[in-house]
Amino acid sequence: MRPERRRFDALVIGAGGGGLRAALQLANAEATVAVVSKVFPTRSHTVAAQGGVNASLANVLPDNWHWHMFDTIKGSDYLGDQDAIEYMCRAAPKAVYELEHFGVPFSRLENGRIYQRAFGGQSQHFGGEQAARTCAAADRTGHAILHSLYQQNIRARTHFFDEHFALDLLRDESGRVLGALVFDIATGESVVIEAKVTLLATGGAAQVYRTNTNALINTGDGMAMALRAGVPLQDMEFVQFHPTGIAGKGMLITEGVRGEGGYLVNGEGERFMERYAPNARDLASRDVVSRAIVTEIREGRGCGPRRDHVLLKLDHLGEALINRRLPAIRETARTFVNADPVRDPIPVFPTAHYTMGGIPTNRHGQVVAPTADAPEEPVEGLYAVGECACVSVHGANRLGGNSLLDIVVFGRAAANHMIDYLAEHRYHRPLPEAAVEGPRARLDRWDEARGEASVPELRRELQRTMEEYAGVFREQESLDEGVARVRAIREQLELAAIGDHSRVFNTARVEALELVNLADVALAVVTSAAARRESRGAHSRVDHPDRDDARWLKHSLFSLAEGMDYKPVRIKPLTVDSFPPKERTY
């Protein structure tokens, strides 16, 4: 049966903060917009963001966008593109006020202004005193943002395809993107969505690791779609391990806890961060704190009977403050470790959290891929924003509070560029029938019973492999072994089955398709990590402990067909002088 066909001006794949911010801008410009999401939009992972969104409002301490820009570049270990970072930091205050006007109920100061808390890596005067730049709605900021954006989209009459799974991009012979093939998870029916322009906003991929802070749905689908469409993935070796995941479980305890005055102690009761980051201490950048925790444990100073975690203390903050500023954290700690932070410390260990790499874009959200003539040629009709994209404002290490900012700033910027694109491309282009065949075959493949390998088992094996061979500390031998193992899992997946021919559940199909995507993303991460022989940001090589700007101040590009390639970092900002790389201490 031929799939149903629908036509829209713009297709947005993903209904998290990035996708919804873009869709709203497009819908308000009178474009017809379809948003596809594999879960109900307000269950997208943005809902889980806790601590807040960065903007130099200076409501609590002096601040300005230029300091924010410096901190972001330093935090990125100088791998971030400085034009995009300048753009984001300058746009931040306006983006936050816009959210406020969309209805986000930010916490307030006594004087009625938006409340701001301190987060890691924030400073005044280019590396001086701690700044307080993170605008928060208690510890449920992402929830507030996502619901407000969803309600605004309903008002703007955005068309939602809820619980529809996007399989692949549809392209003509020239490579121009003309929409996507999706399938309805409830009925199993596939739908061709034709669009003049398509935006990928499918979120991150921390599910490649066993212990992570992400929802089960964060499987890097958009990244894998881009790879299959011949677009390389950028900087995939840089995966952020958040220092304070609940030990053994992975759920996030926001950096906002340390921003409010919480601190870490080891098994000897020592505030060990003083040794690793004498100035910023517990509010050093996330890569620094994660490495410090793992080092303490490796050197025998962990807590608990197995000395396998450290403790996060916040009992001294008092019940009133915890209830007012960190209510969800109290609830999480009580539920998952039976610890009430008003009295008890929380056992924590670094956990996979955020994908700094992704689909390469310029600051207009256009997906760019290298050609023989240029390192950054836009792919016609394709844009990407949010955690699936790499614009790159986070470089080798993201600062807390900068991702919610990234999704709203670049969601808006990409949509504005798409609106101009639509003005120049007013008609739908013919979609060749052959363009649908490949993606259809990828879906139908799971109706055949092929072999013994089981999808859930392979997923667990993939996650364990990544944790063991590409974790916080890395070295050549184990990374090479990781590459071999991930390749072997991909081969086994070719032979996996999800049921007998007569009885295949759509949810099992989704899990299988997600695992195919996860495996491609895992290969990108471990191959890129094995290739980068230096330590930078979140990529910490025991065998190459120093940063090597002479050889490695460049973005990596991984593609399925051609392996590794590289392109220069955009060092030149838009209007100010660039910040040249220097030693990074906190």
Ligand X SMILES: Cc1cc2nc3c(=O)[nH]c(=O)nc-3n(C[C@H](O)[C@H](O)[C@H](O)COP(=O)(O)OP(=O)(O)OC[C@H]3O[C@@H](n4cnc5c(N)ncnc54)[C@H](O)[C@@H]3O)c2cc1C
Pair type for strands 159-162 and 33-37: parallel
Residue 49: CB minimum distance to ligand X, A: 3
Closest to 409 measured CA to CA, from 188, 185, 84, 37: 84
Closer to ligand X by Cβ: residue 224 or 530: 224
Strand runs (DSSP E) across 2-99, as ranges? 4-13, 33-37, 53-54
Residue choice 10, 12, 17, 419 for contact with ligand X (CB under 6 A): 17
Residue with the CB atom nearest ligand X in the bound state: 16
Nearest CB to ligand X, comparing residues 29 and 217? 217
Stretch that binds ligand X, among 39-47, 183-191, 453-461, 467-475 (CB under 6 A): 39-47
Return the residues of window 51-70 that contact ligand X according to CB under 6 A. 51-53
Site of tokens 């955005």: 158
Q: Which of 43-51, 68-76, 85-93, 356-364 is the region at the interface with ligand X (rule: CB under 6 A)?
A: 43-51
Beta carbons of 139 and 256 less than 8 angstroms apart: yes
Cβ nearer to ligand X, comparing 386 with 439: 386
Long-range Cβ contacts of 259-263 (<8 Å, 24+ apart): 259/51, 259/117, 259/118, 259/119, 259/120, 259/132, 259/134, 259/283, 260/117, 260/314, 260/317, 260/321, 260/325, 260/326, 261/314, 261/316, 261/317, 262/312, 262/313, 262/314, 262/317, 263/312, 263/313
Pairing of strands 377-384, 190-200: parallel
> In what order do the strands lie in the sheet containing 263-265?
239-246, 346-355, 310-313, 263-265
CA dist 297 and 413 (Å) reads 43
Stretch that binds ligand X, among 50-58, 102-110, 276-284, 575-583 (CB under 6 A): 50-58
Is residue 386 a contact point for ligand X (CB under 6 A)?
Answer: yes
**Between 33 and 479, CB nearer to ligand X:** 33
Letter string b/e over residues 126-138, b meaning 16 or more CB atoms within 10 A of that residue's CB:
ebeebbbbbbbbb
Does 198 bind ligand X (CB under 6 A)? Our answer is: no
In the set 117, 210, 281, 286, the catalytic residue is 286
CB atoms within 10 A of CB 7: 15
How many residues belong to the site for ligand X (CB under 6 A)? 45
**Does 208 engage in binding with ligand X (CB under 6 A)?**
no
Regarding 191 and contact with ligand X (CB under 6 A), the answer is no
Taking CB under 6 A as the binding criterion, the range among 233-241, 264-272, 358-366, 395-403 that sits at the site for ligand X is 395-403
Long-range contacts of 576-579 (CB under 8 A, 24+ apart): 576/66, 576/69, 576/86, 578/82, 579/69, 579/70, 579/73, 579/74, 579/78, 579/82
Shorter beta-carbon distance to ligand X: residue 46 or 82: 46
Nearest to 206 by CA among 354, 339, 92, 308: 354
Work out the burial of residue 112: count CB atoms within 10 Å of its CB; fewer than 13 is exposed, 13-18 middle, 19 or more buried.
exposed
- Give the nearest distance from C-beta 170 to ligand X in angstroms: 14
Q: Looking at 203, 365, 381, 471, which residue binds ligand X (CB under 6 A)?
A: 203
Of positions 29, 36, 79, 339, contacts ligand X by CB under 6 A:
36
Site string for ligand X, 311-350 (x = CB under 6 A): ----------------------------------------
- The pair of structure tokens assigned to 302 is 């962990």
Closer residue to ligand X in complex, CB, 107/254: 254
Q: Between 183 and 272, whose beta carbon lies closer to ligand X? A: 183
Q: Which of residues 406-425 bind ligand X (CB under 6 A)?
A: 407
Of 10, 11, 12, 14, the one binding ligand X (CB under 6 A) is 14
Give, in order, the Cα–Cα distances in Å from 449 to each of 350, 376, 438, 445, 454. Answer: 39, 42, 19, 9, 11
Question: Which tokens in the block code for residue 141?
Answer: 């900021």
Interaction mask 242-261, ligand X, x per CB under 6 A: ----------x-x-------
Q: Is 104 in the site for ligand X (CB under 6 A)?
A: no
Give the bridge partners for 346, in sequence order. Answer: 312
286 is a catalytic site residue:
yes
* Residue 411 C-beta: closest distance to ligand X, Å: 7
User: Cis (ω within 30 of 0) for the bond into 392?
Assistant: yes
How near is the Cβ of 37 to ligand X at its closest, in Å? 4
* Nearer residue to ligand X within complex by CB, 201 or 265: 201
Token digits of residue 77: 């270990």
Q: Using the rule CB under 6 A, give the single segment among 197-205, 445-453, 468-476, 557-565 that binds ligand X.
A: 197-205
**Does residue 16 belong to the site contacting ligand X (CB under 6 A)?**
yes
Binding-site member from 214, 234, 285, 366 for ligand X (CB under 6 A): 214
Q: Taking CB under 6 A as the rule, does residue 280 contact ligand X?
A: no
> The dihedral of CA 157, 145, 63, 537: what is its sign?
negative
Stretch that binds ligand X, among 195-203, 260-268, 344-352, 564-572 (CB under 6 A): 195-203
Q: Are 193 and 180 in contact (CB under 8 A)?
A: yes
The binding track of 144-183 with respect to ligand X, each residue x by CB under 6 A or -, is: ---------------------xx-----------------
263: three-class secondary structure by DSSP: strand
If DSSP states are collapsed to H, E and C, what string results for 150-181? HHHHHHCCCEEEECEEEEEEEECCCCCEEEEE
Q: Under rule CB under 6 A, which residues in 116-145 are in contact with ligand X?
A: 141-142
How many C-beta atoms surround the C-beta of residue 169 within 10 A? 25
Q: By the criterion CB under 6 A, which residues form the site for ligand X?
A: 13-19, 36-39, 44-46, 48-53, 141-142, 165-166, 201-204, 213-214, 217-218, 221, 252, 254, 353-354, 386-387, 400-404, 407
Catalytic positions: 286
